[in-house]
Structure 1
Amino acid sequence: MLKPFIVTTITSNENGISVFTETDFEVNQRGGMFLTEQIASKNFRIRKSDVGYETDFHLSGDPTLIIMLKGTLKIELQNGELKTFSAGNSFIAKDNLPENVLFDNKIHGHKASVIGNETLEAIHIKL
């Protein structure tokens, strides 16, 4: 049995609270490669953010795969849990609210900040 490709994911629980989870992508061996099935995407963007950049608490909106190329991004949840992502890391942001819940920046979402002394460069792929 091949090990799946595991990606850290920011998602929402049943109350619309952002949590870290993991998404497993099954892989198949093809020659000397281990590949997932094709994953549909809508578009991609190339991102740069200066050292010191930070956001307020927000939701991701559309699910987005972020692939870190340079720099370090800290993601913090409302409960104080945090993870950092640097060059070579990736994660999926797909936290969102149920239809009947209004966003409250003291309860919902995650915030991001560029830490360290290097400009952030990343690729955002809308899934």
Structure 2
Amino acid sequence: MFEIPCLLADQRGVSFFSTAEYPKNKRGGMLLSEQIAVINFRFRESEAGYTTDWHLAGDPTLIIIQKGTLRIWLQNGSFKDFGAGSQFIAADNLSEGVIFDPTKHGHKAEVIGSETLFAIHIKLVNFYLPS
């Protein structure tokens, strides 16, 4: 299985870390997942010290870190660091009818260390958490 860290939200809109597992299929000497539809991708650059306010991912996004380290904070004070070569899916969002409250919902991100962050953001179509 390909294991990809994920940032999700529960029914109350509280963000948490999880893992998505995608089956590996052997094809011509390679191990590949099934195709995953995407909307678009963007290149990202953020200077050392960059930080955000509390927010949600909105559209599910696969983020691949090329250089630097991105720290993702949760409301409960826990965090994960993602450095060069790592990836994660940011897919925390609110259930219908829940109004965003920056004291309860979402995550913060910051570039830690002295390196500029370079990353690729790939917007996913119809993300679901595979079992």
TM-score band (shorter)?
Answer: over 0.9
Determine if the alignment matches structure 1 residue 36 to structure 2 residue 33: yes
Counterpart of 1:61 (choices 54, 58, 70) is 58
Tell me which residue corresponds to 1:73: 70
The residue type paired with residue 37 of structure 2 is A
Counterpart of 1:90 (choices 77, 87, 97) is 87
Superposed, 1:109-124 pairs within 5 Å as: 109-124=106-121
TM-score by length of 2: 0.93
Determine if the alignment matches structure 1 residue 102 to structure 2 residue 95: no
Q: Distance in 1 between matches of 2:72 and 2:101?
A: 18
Aligned identity (percent) is 58
Q: Distance in 1 between matches of 2:78 and 2:29?
A: 38
Q: Distance in 1 between matches of 2:49 and 2:103?
A: 22
Displacement, 1:15?
Answer: 1.1
Q: Distance in 1 between matches of 2:122 and 2:22?
A: 16
Tell me which residue corresponds to 2:127: none
Q: Which runs of 5+ in 1 are unaligned?
A: none
What RMSD, in angstroms, separates the aligned Cα atoms of the two structures? 0.5
Counterpart of 1:19 (choices 16, 19, 43) is 16
Displacement, 1:53?
Answer: 0.2
Displacement, 1:31?
Answer: 2.3
Q: Distance in 2 between matches of 1:14 and 1:26?
A: 27
Tell me which residue corresponds to 1:45: 42
Q: Distance in 1 between matches of 2:77 and 2:14?
A: 12
Tell me which residue corresponds to 2:129: none
Deviation string 1:8-33 (CA, Å, 9 cap, x unpaired) is 00001121100000011111011221
The residue type paired with residue 32 of structure 2 is L
Segment drifting more, 25-34 vs 42-51: 25-34
Q: Which runs of 5+ in 2 are unaligned?
A: 125-131
The residue type paired with residue 13 of structure 1 is D
